[in-house]
Amino acid sequence: MKKIPRRVWLEISRDVLTSNFNAVSNKVSPCEVMPVLKANSYGLGVLPIAETLKEAGAMRFGVAEPYEALQLLPLERSIHILSSILPEEVEPMIEAGITIPVASLESAQLINRTAEKLHKFATVHFKVDTGMGRLGILYNDAYETISKAHGLPGLISEGIFSHFSMAYERTSPVTLEQINKFKTLLMQLSKAGKHFKYVHIANSDAINNFPESYHPPFNMVRTGINLHGAFDAEGNRSIPIQPAISLKTRLTAVRKLPAGSCIGYGHTYKLKEKTRIGTISAGYADGLPLSLSNQGNVIIRDRLCPIIGRVSMDYTNVSLKDAPEAQVGDDVTCLGATESNCITIESWAELKNTHPYEIICSFGNRVERRYI
Ligand SMILES: Cc1ncc(COP(=O)(O)O)c(C=O)c1O
């Protein structure tokens, strides 16, 4: 049977991913950049993105949990679990050579015992909670815990890291407090002869807002959203990155509806005049936020076409008043840029009253990922 092209697709530009990686690398040089590719690279498809970033020079990747770590083994790069590890996951992760986070003395001891049993070494990075309030060794316990764990014979204590809770807010004292606490701890550990090859704390927000997070003692950063070409909703945008993704679909129907016609579920829009209406083949199942209803736009033939009525699961209606030549089958840009128009992830996030991360992670299963 002849292959039918998919109705909705994401175009993910490998060139833009590469140039974004280079832009972040230039900004933080000589720090190393660890791309964070958790959640299937924020939903965009982890393997092609990892391959692209490996070609761009990435030496390691960060993920959230073991399943994601194992997926990346074929790339033959260091894979770091950044969050947590369950006891039964320790052995397979050591076997696979994954870099494991240490978040307690008990966990360090278990990793050590397991490594010795396997006649292997486990590479670990100590995860310190300097104020994120989520995972890691509590700051007040960190010196003691790390001092005890650092020399365990089965461990290669390669790194130490922490994570920011609100580095998007330049004026908040919280991030500087986290940095200062971390530096104090490093100094104490250094005095006791405990040193680390890699010291890292910065995420995208910090790289944009807190230069002190990518200067010594820090020598690595972890970045996710900036590689995909988006910024957090708040804070500076100080890296010259480009949007790497466009969401596209097709125009599946064009109809002229008389004045007074009501459009879609709930009849939330009533035509004031006879209007050419287009129906595009994408809805909230594909990641179009419901809040675009009567508020957002799509681009057809390089013209902005307002969404009218409520976004439904599979289809969305738009006014073709400003694109009179639009025809069934036309490509429709829901997110992304054309020659003279652009719809950004950030603008969707604002309409949905959320942050860009949720938008990027919300494209549906039906959406084909095309790497171009
Ligand atoms: C521990 C850790 N480091 C780094 C990142 C990368 O964050 P961002 O996408 O904001 O750069 C994340 C993602 O939330 C994370 O959980």
Could you confirm whether 265 is annotated as catalytic? yes
* Ligand 1 atom nearest residue 204's Cα: 11
pTM above 0.75, yes or no: yes
**pLDDT tens track for 118-166:** 999 999 999 999 999 999 999 999 999 999 999 999 999 999 999 999 9
What pLDDT score does 172 carry? Answer: 85
Q: How many other C-beta atoms are found inside a 10 Å radius of the C-beta of residue 158?
A: 16
Instruction: Tell me how far CA of residue 231 lies from CA of 123, 228, 297, 298, 365, in angstroms.
Output: 32, 9, 21, 21, 24
The response to whether residue 115 sits with its C-beta less than 6 Å from ligand 1 reads no
Superfamily name with CATH number, domain 31-223: Alanine racemase (3.20.20.10)
Instruction: Indicate if ligand 1 lies below 6 Å from the C-beta of 202.
Output: no
Pick the CATH number of 245-371 from 3.30.9.10, 3.40.47.10, 2.40.37.10, 3.40.50.1820: 2.40.37.10
Positions in the chain short of pLDDT 50: none
| CA 99 – CA 93 distance, rounded (Å) | 8
CA–centroid distance, residue 223 to ligand 1 (Å): 6
Q: How far apart are CA 198 and CA 361, in angstroms?
A: 29
Beta strands in 179-244 (DSSP E): 198-202, 220-223
Phi, psi (deg, nearest 5) at residue 213: -80, -10
Residue nearest to atom 5 of ligand 1 (CA): 203
The predicted structure's pLDDT at residue 208:
96
- Ligand 1 near 282 CB (within 6 A): no
222 lines ligand 1 (CB under 6 A): yes
- What is the CA(82)–ligand 1 centre distance, in A? 9
Of ligand 1's atoms, which has the minimum distance to the CA of residue 64?
16
Q: Domain map of the chain by residue range?
A: 31-223, 245-371
Q: Is the Cβ atom of 203 under 6 angstroms away from ligand 1?
A: yes
